[in-house]
Structure 1
Amino acid sequence: MEESSSFENFELHLSNQSKEFLRETAKWAYLLAIVGFVFIGLMIVLGIFMGTMMSSLETPASIPGALLSVFYIGISLVYLFPVLYLYRFASKMKKAFAENNSEDLEEGFKNLKSHYKFIGVATLLLVGIYGILFLVGIFSAATSVF
């Protein structure tokens, strides 16, 4: 209980070195966000063209082109959220340092938190899906042997 109240009274000050680290982090985050937006655009274009190409090559065992298009576009839309959070983090940080604005700094950190929260939840979901697929594979292999 004592720790909580002392933490509430704690005011954090950033050293010049810490500010420089944040500035540089914002620059790299901005670059990664722009590259992310470019790849999202390429994935959408690829999804549209891949669906068209696959539908012209359709064989009885192939995946329908429309399904492939929906898959690529869906993945790119999911990927949009963490990239958007990263872009907002970088933009708010750059603005906070340019204008010496604490609200923009706080908003930047809020977007960074959202970015990592999204990535964390997505990672947990994928690990869970892989775990289920692994168990299904083991169960399927075990039952097919007998």
Structure 2
Amino acid sequence: MEDFEKEVPQEVKLIVTEEMRSYFYDMSKWARFLSVVGFVVSAFLTLSSFGIGAAITANPSLLNQLGPLASTGAIGVTTFYLLLALLFFYQSLLLLRFSANGKQGILFGDQENLNDAIANLKSLFKFWGILTMVSVVSYFLLIIAVAVSVGLK
């Protein structure tokens, strides 16, 4: 990163063409759509988490139909769905902020809003990058655990 900063003279400015502005405006519209869908999914997951938890508490035989989540009980299932809802909510919030700030920045030539939009987009990619790394490491550890458990038998 340091080499990049040394090579680029400070007087070089980026030029945003009308075509780029059009792309950015379209991205903002799609980001708003995806954020609204994400908020709806988050709301359904939140409602479902409490509904499933209450149903399991009322009828414990439902745990047999949940598969691997059954061992966690009603509280575990509720917590799992609430965590999923939180993941959807956070990414939707970042998308909504990107959309609002990006549209404002492009329509009115507001550099600060455009900077905020890009910062939110960076945070969204960082979020997905960390989530992907955690998933890959989890799968890797799962494969090792299965291999060890099969080898012990």
Q: TM-score, normalized by length of structure 1? A: 0.90
| TM alignment of 1:63-78, pairs within 5 A | 63=70, 64-78=73-87
For 1:35 and 1:21, locate their aligned partners in 2 and report how far apart those are by CA, in whole Å: 21
1:23 corresponds in structure 2 to 25
Question: Which AA in structure 2 matches 1:18?
Answer: M
**For 2:15, what is the secondary structure of its paired residue?**
coil
Q: 2:101 aligns with which of 84, 89, 92?
A: 92
Secondary structure at 1:14 match in 2: coil
- Residue of structure 2 equivalent to 1:133: 142
1:142 corresponds to: 151
Q: Number of aligned residue pairs: give it.
A: 144
Asked whether the 8 Å contact 1:85–1:114 carries over to 2, the reply is yes
- Residues 55 and 66 of structure 1 are in contact (CA less than 8 Å); yes or no, is this contact kept in structure 2? no
Task: Structure 1: give runs of 5+ residues left out of the alignment.
Answer: none
Quote the offset at 1:2 in angstroms. Answer: 7.2
> Matched residue of 2:60: which SS?
coil
- Measured on the aligned residues, the alpha-carbon RMSD in Å equals 1.9
Runs of 4+ in 1 over 4 A off after TM superposition: none
Structure 2 vs 1, CA of residues 60 and 40 (structure 1 numbering), >3 Å: closer, same or farther? Answer: closer
- Structure 1 stretch displaced more, 51-60 or 117-126: 51-60
Q: CA deviation at 1:78?
A: 2.8
TM-score, length-scaled by structure 2: 0.86
Q: Quick one: percent identity of the two aligned structures?
A: 22
